[in-house]
Amino acid sequence: MKAGSLMLAFFVAIATACGQVRPEQITLTKQLSYDQHTLADEYPYGKTTRRFQWDKIKVQLADIENAERKGGSWGVLENRRDEHGRAPLVYNSHTDEYHRAADSLGNEQYQGIPLYDVRDSVKPVLYGDDGMWVRVVSQDERWTTLETIHEITRDTYRVPTRYVHTITNPVPFTRVIVADRAMQNIATLEKQPGPAQHTWLIRSMNPCSTGAHNPPYQMPTPLGIFVIQEKKSKMLFTKDGSSEIAGFTPHASRFSGGGYIHGVPVNYPNQTPVEFSSTLGTTPRSHMCIRNATSHAKFIYDWAPVDGALLVVIE
């Protein structure tokens, strides 16, 4: 049995035992709202075949639905550029390839949010990513007890309240973007309202390029479930290792730290947006961001509201 099938079977067994939404209950129906540069379910890539990993996507959508069924309040972890303070060192901290302090999972202290064990407020055990979607269990002026949703860090933690932005928009989240680091593709999905429970419409299926692991400047796009936090019609970027502006990316939607979903970069002195790049859908080459065809980035920019849409990064 393939690894993906084993994972799906595992989550089905757990969900069945708990009376939760199971991945096989999720129905995916193609009803594209954006139909340019569209990929097939499976498509050739060199001497291999790439595909949309719908089995893994169903697992993530079931997780989102099950989290929302608990009700309560929802939040986003925030610490862009350490705006709420540099997080303390975690237990077993080490220095990573980017010369930054990191936890046992590779999450960095810079722009990180300290996640404390609920029984220990001396040192955090992990760093949460800026933009991470969480369920707020309880909150006072000093501490927030919360549940993380993504399977990598799924648990209950205590976090200083200054790092938690409470979402006031109503849930459930009906718009979800899924970017695949392994397949270098991206899909947008919208939950069908009404009596058709667990039905999600596929709104687009496109190539993308995620972040590359190439110290000291290029960083992988983090795995997890993130909330769209901010939008910039034109996001300026600098030359590596410099404060000099090198160009811009159009239709940028920020999800974590300096990570944006955006269109094809435009390098100065050029000023005209570029629709498509032949490197999209090939190999990771961005700086943590998720690069798209420019018109697809605009579709996401218009379609996914701040605090009202989720990005899931899988591989």
Shared domain check, 279 and 195: yes
Please state, rounded to an integer, the average pLDDT across all residues of the chain. 93
Report the DSSP pairing between strands 175-180 and 101-102. unpaired
Residues with Cβ < 8 Å from 226, sequence gap 6 or more? Answer: 129, 131, 132, 133, 255, 256, 310, 311, 312, 313
Q: CA 208 to CA 282: how far, in whole Å?
A: 8
Shared domain check, 158 and 191: no
* Count of other CB atoms within 10 angstroms of residue 161: 16
Boundary (domain end) residue, out of 124, 143, 167: 167
pLDDT at 20 over 60: yes
- 210 domain residue, yes or no: yes
Task: Tell me the three state secondary structure of residue 3.
Answer: helix
pLDDT at 70 over 60: yes
36-to-42, 166, 179, 275 alpha-carbon distances in Å = 17, 36, 17, 11
Shared domain check, 194 and 150: no
pLDDT tens string 168-227: 876 789 999 999 999 999 999 999 987 668 999 999 999 999 999 999 999 999 999 999
* Count of other CB atoms within 10 angstroms of residue 121: 13
Q: Determine the pLDDT at residue 2.
A: 47
Q: Determine the pLDDT at residue 18.
A: 54
Shared domain check, 299 and 197: yes
- 39 domain residue, yes or no: yes
Boundary (domain end) residue, out of 167, 189, 205: 167
Amino acid at 137: V
- 4 domain residue, yes or no: no
Contact (CB, 8 A) for 144 and 57: no
- 196 domain residue, yes or no: yes
Shared domain check, 127 and 39: no
Contact (CB, 8 A) for 200 and 26: yes
Shared domain check, 140 and 195: no
Q: How many domains is the chain partitioned into structurally?
A: 2
Token pair 């947006």 in the structure block, residue: 273
Boundary (domain end) residue, out of 139, 167, 195: 167
Shared domain check, 208 and 273: yes
Q: Determine the pLDDT at residue 119.
A: 93
Q: CA 270 to CA 230: how far, in whole Å?
A: 25
State the residue range of the domain holding 97. 73-167
The CATH number assigned to the domain holding 29 equals 2.40.440.10
- Report DSSP state, residue 161: G
Shared domain check, 129 and 99: yes
| Portion of the chain with pLDDT greater than 70, in percent | 93
Closest to 190 measured CA to CA, from 180, 179, 176, 171: 176
CA 189, 18, 6, 153 torsion-angle sign: positive
Taking the model in full, what pTM does it have?
0.92
Shared domain check, 283 and 252: yes
Q: CA 251 to CA 60: how far, in whole Å?
A: 26
Buried b (16+ CB within 10 A) or exposed e, 45-55: eeeeebebbbb
Q: CA 168 to CA 166: how far, in whole Å?
A: 6
Shared domain check, 80 and 34: no
Q: Determine the pLDDT at residue 260.
A: 98
Identify the weakest region by mean pLDDT among 3-7, 41-45, 116-120, 255-259: 3-7
pLDDT tens string 256-294: 999 999 999 999 999 999 999 999 999 999 999 999 999
